[in-house]
Amino acid sequence: MLAMVALFVVVASMSRLNEVVFVALCLAPLIIFVVLNLRVGIFVLILALFINLQYGFTASGWFSVILLMSYLVSREGDLSIDFKHPLMMPIVVYLASVLPSLLNLTRPYPALLHLYNLVAMLLIVCIIGSQVLSLDDIRKYMGWYFLLTAASSIDVIVRITLSGRRDFGFAGIMFVDYAGLGTVCAFTLMLLNRGSKKFWYGMLTLLFVAALILNQTRSIWVVTAVSLALAILYFIRRAEAYGYARRKLVVVFASVVVFIIGFYGIAEVITPKIAERTTEIVSSKRQAFDPSGLPTNSIVTRLLIWQTAINAFAAHPIIGIGAYSFPIESRSYRTIPLYLYKRYVQGLSPHTTHLAVLVETGLVGMMGFLFFMYGVLRMSFSSMRADQPPELRQYSAALGWSTVYIALSMVVTDAWLWGHGIILMSIILGFNVALHRLRNSTMTQVNHAAQPHIILT
């Protein structure tokens, strides 16, 4: 395999090919290996989330195609895909609700191309949900995600400490959601484990929190804090079901809060701008515009985008302006000065999931999306409440609160509708479906074993 990689690199470097072909040739041996092994394919798909490269689609978007090829090879010519799972109807309803918006597309090619994001979500959920057959596999995949997020967090901490400036590390801007989701997931597993596992999950939680504080992305601070608070309240209420003393839960949560406050104080010394960014929203001393008339507050720049988005929705409230089309159609709906539009709106998305859905797919798409999210959260909470073995319960809770984090972060970002975001959400939902099937299979075996067996003679 290494010889093949070396050969492809030499051939590609000697030829006059563009960088895309060069990368494709270098990755060809890995792609062949992944196609022949579905389990490796899922590991590589998670790895692709941390590759901050984009050519039409993100790296994870392209690798989702390879995952489909791997699935078909593993089925030995059987082209069928198992679509029978609890999230099938919500996903299909959402996809169907998006289709009417295509009638309003004025430049269909880019938008139709990006519709693959939704198709990829359906395929990944179905493939992972049906092919991840053991809890051990889920544990390994989540461990791999934790490892990559930890490496990215260390990279961010080192870069910011050395430079004193904000940095997103090698994973790019999606790092903040990787770390936020990782914090919620690791914190949940820390609460529900004992011994050395509790220690290591606790260390991961603190590492992710430290990186988020230094990174200074305020919206993710809020989303992560609310997710953790809701999780701890849930576990306090259901402490007996999880075999946990309420007092211990309160102590653990208080310890995390103390760490956050203490590290925040240290972070202010490393990067003094943290305090300024923390108080920027509520400070009356902060000017919204500089002397040249340009916004100095990120909230103001968001308002410029949102005003344009609201104009677009007002023009097409029923079926929207077309799925994934706001970045290329927003100019038609601007009412702000052209210089502000070009600097702060042109080519950008609405920056919040619900507004993006409403603008691009209208009220029809919004109803489909809300039905989809209701199905996702309903499945997550029913999985957490279900009777099941302790270890299954731990991972059901971790994945369940991960979906809660995603739902909350949709208020501050629309990254979950495309690119790395929708691929990560699809992986999480696929694991939820796999756990649902494992739980049903386990409980069926338990119930069967508990039934009396009558032997006729």
Contact 408, 435 (CB under 8 A): no
Q: Which residues contact 452 (CB under 8 A, 6 or more apart)?
A: none
Instruction: State percent of the chain over pLDDT 90.
Output: 38
Residue 17, pLDDT > 50, answer no
The conformational region for residue 297 under phi > 0 = left, psi -120 to 50 = alpha, else beta, is beta
362 pLDDT more than 60: yes
pLDDT tens digits for 73-93? 877 656 566 667 889 999 999
Q: What is the mean pLDDT of residues 290-315?
A: 78
Contact yes or no for 344/295 (Cβ under 8 A): yes
- CB within 8 Å of 225: residues ≥ 6 apart: none
Q: Whole-number mean pLDDT of the chain?
A: 82
User: According to the model, what pLDDT value does residue 10 have?
Assistant: 47
Helix-helix angle 175-192:218-237, to 10 degrees: 20
**Sign of the dihedral through C-alpha 341, 344, 347, 348:** negative
Residue 175 pLDDT: 93
pLDDT band for 141, please (50, 70, 90 cuts). Answer: very high
Q: Is 101 exposed, middle or buried (0-12, 13-18, 19+ CB in 10 A)?
A: buried
pLDDT at site 218: 82
Q: C-alpha 395: how far from its chain's center? A: 17
Supply the pLDDT for residue 147.
Answer: 96
- pLDDT tens readout for residues 99-112: 999 999 888 888 88
Q: Which residues of 398-434 are buried (b: 16+ CB within 10 A; e: fewer)?
A: bbbbbbbbbbbbbebbbbbbbbbbbbbbbbbbbbbbb
Q: What is the mean pLDDT of residues 330-352?
A: 88
| Locus of tokens 């995949």 | 141
C-beta atoms surrounding 106 within 10 Å: 11
- Least confident stretch, 212-226, 240-254, 269-283, 419-433: 269-283
**pLDDT at residue 71, rounded to an integer:** 83
Nearest to 236 by CA among 405, 228, 9, 52: 228
Is residue 214 within 8 A of residue 157, CB to CB? The reply is yes
Amino acid at 31: I
Residue 383: per-residue pLDDT? 84
Which two three-digit tokens encode residue 176?
């903040």
Burial class (CB in 10 A: 0-12, 13-18, 19+), 226: middle
Is residue 259 classed exposed, middle or buried when 0-12, 13-18 and 19+ CB atoms within 10 A define those classes? middle
Confidence band for 21, pLDDT divided at 50, 70 and 90: low
pLDDT at residue 130 is higher than 70: yes
pLDDT for residue 50 is more than 70: yes
Residue 406 is encoded by which pair of tokens?
């995603």
Q: Which ranges in 193-283 belong to alpha helices (H)?
A: 196-215, 218-237, 246-270, 273-279
Burial class of residue 94 in the structure, from the number of CB atoms within 10 Å of its CB (0-12 exposed, 13-18 middle, 19+ buried): buried
* Residue 13 predicted with pLDDT over 60: no
Predicted confidence at residue 4, as pLDDT, reads 42
Residue pLDDT, tens place only, 394-436: 899 999 999 999 999 999 988 999 889 999 999 999 999 999 8
348 pLDDT tier (thresholds 50, 70, 90):
confident
CA torsion, points 12, 16, 20, 23, in degrees to nearest 10?
10
Scanning 36-134, the segments in alpha helix (DSSP H) are 38-48, 59-74, 88-98, 108-114, 116-131
Burial of 242: CB neighbours in 10 Å, binned 0-12, 13-18, 19+? middle
The token duo for 26 is: 């270098």
Instruction: Give the pLDDT mean for 440-447.
Output: 62
The predicted pLDDT at position 301 comes to: 81
> What residues contact residue 303 under an 8 Å CB cut-off, 6+ apart?
none
Cα distances from 11 to residues 1, 2, 6, 15, 17, in angstroms, run: 16, 14, 9, 6, 10
Please say if the pLDDT value at position 456 is more than 60.
no
Q: How far is CA 253 from the centre of its chain?
A: 24
Cβ(432)–Cβ(125) below 8 Å = no
Q: Beta strand 57-58 with 54-55: parallel, antiparallel or unpaired?
A: antiparallel
What is the identity of the amino acid at 116? Y
Average pLDDT (42-60) is: 83
Cα–Cα distance, 169 to 413 (Å, whole number):
19
341-367 mean pLDDT: 92
Q: Phi and psi dihedrals of 99, rounded to 5?
A: -60, -40
Confidence at residue 102, expressed as pLDDT on a 0 to 100 scale: 93
Rounded Cα gap, residues 323 and 142, in angstroms: 32
Tens-place pLDDT, residues 262-301: 766 666 666 666 555 555 544 544 555 555 556 556 677 8
Specify the pLDDT at position 54.
72
DSSP letter at 1 equals -
Residues in the chain: 457
For 160-191, the pLDDT digits (tens) are: 888 878 888 888 899 999 999 999 999 999 98
pLDDT at residue 67, rounded to an integer: 84
pLDDT average, residue stretch 298-323: 90
